[in-house]
Amino acid sequence: MANMKFGLIGRITTILAGIVVVVAGMAWIGNAQDHANDPQTLSIPVNDSDWYVGNKDAAVTLVEYSDFQCPACGAYFPVMKGLEEAYGDTLKIVYRNYPLITLHANAQIAAQAAEAAGIQGKFFEMHDALFQNQKSWSAETDPTNSFLNYATVIGLDVEKFRTDLTSNAVINEIKNDINGGNASKLSGTPTFFLNGVQIVKNPQGLEPFKTLIDAALLPAPTETSAETAE
């Protein structure tokens, strides 16, 4: 009789333990689902190796992970120029490479062209030329000659540019950007981070973007004492 009693207790204990595990598992799954769409944070903080326009010490920093051959990134190019013009020194806009080489055959070499121009201090001049002429060089089997022409127009030492275009230093800079993007769990381009937090849904145009930046520029609310003067 005693053995039957202890056996029954053991089975009940096992069943209860199983229920606890199931409930805990469901709670974990529910929590994971609740946070599945939470915005990502920037895995590699903005640093001195980044290319940027605006004020280095601006209160608001916008990081763009982009692909020079990506049509959506091309569509955001005038938006970024509009933000640059609208905010000036109150905003820092950072560009990071994230070439989607499985989709865009010339994305990698285009990123290399911008980085090679950056060695001569003209990253954003090449950046602008690449986006302004995106449709033409994107259709070329080998856009190198087009990039050499852009280098001439923006006043680079063309022979140095040609050498730097395929250098390990340039390729490694792009790899670093890609690794940072992967660590931040990018799913495509363009992806934007405002003060280190991903903008989950890209603003559709200049004014919606300005709304987000204006909100980020607002001073933080000050804490007020709960006590009242008697």
Q: How confident is the model at residue 220 (pLDDT cuts 50, 70, 90)?
A: confident
Backbone angles phi, psi at 198, to 5 degrees: -65, 135
Backbone angles phi, psi at 179, to 5 degrees: -60, -40
Nearest to 146 by CA among 157, 158, 103: 158
Q: What is the pLDDT of residue 104?
A: 98
Distance CA 62, CA 154 (A): 26
Distance CA 191, CA 176 (A): 16
201: number of CA atoms within 13 Å, CB side?
Answer: 3
Nearest to 136 by CA among 68, 200, 201, 186: 68
Distance CA 120, CA 161 (A): 8
Q: What is the pLDDT of residue 223?
A: 60
How large is the greatest C-alpha to C-alpha distance in the chain, in angstroms?
A: 97
Percentage of residues of the chain with pLDDT beyond 70: 80
Q: Which of 3-7, 107-111, 133-137, 197-201 has the lowest mean pLDDT?
A: 3-7
Distance CA 120, CA 114 (A): 10
Q: How confident is the model at residue 188 (pLDDT cuts 50, 70, 90)?
A: very high
Query: At residue 228, does pLDDT exceed 50?
Result: no
What are the pLDDT digits (tens) for 58-110?
999 999 999 999 999 999 999 999 999 999 999 999 999 999 999 999 999 99
Nearest to 149 by CA among 161, 134, 166: 161
pTM for this structure?
0.81
Strand, helix or coil for residue 201: coil
Which structure tokens are listed for 74? 């091309």
Q: What is the pLDDT of residue 37?
A: 58
Average pLDDT, the chain: 87
Q: What is the pLDDT of residue 219?
A: 85
Query: At residue 28, does pLDDT exceed 90?
Result: no
CA angle 84, 74, 122 (to 5 degrees): 55
CA angle 162, 135, 170 (to 5 degrees): 30
List domains and CATH numbers for the chain: 51-217 (3.40.30.10)
Which structure tokens are listed for 87? 């905010």
Strands 60-66 and 91-97: parallel
Distance CA 187, CA 86 (A): 29
Query: 221-224 long-range contacts, Cβ below 8 Å, gap at least 24?
Result: none
Which structure tokens are listed for 69? 């051959």
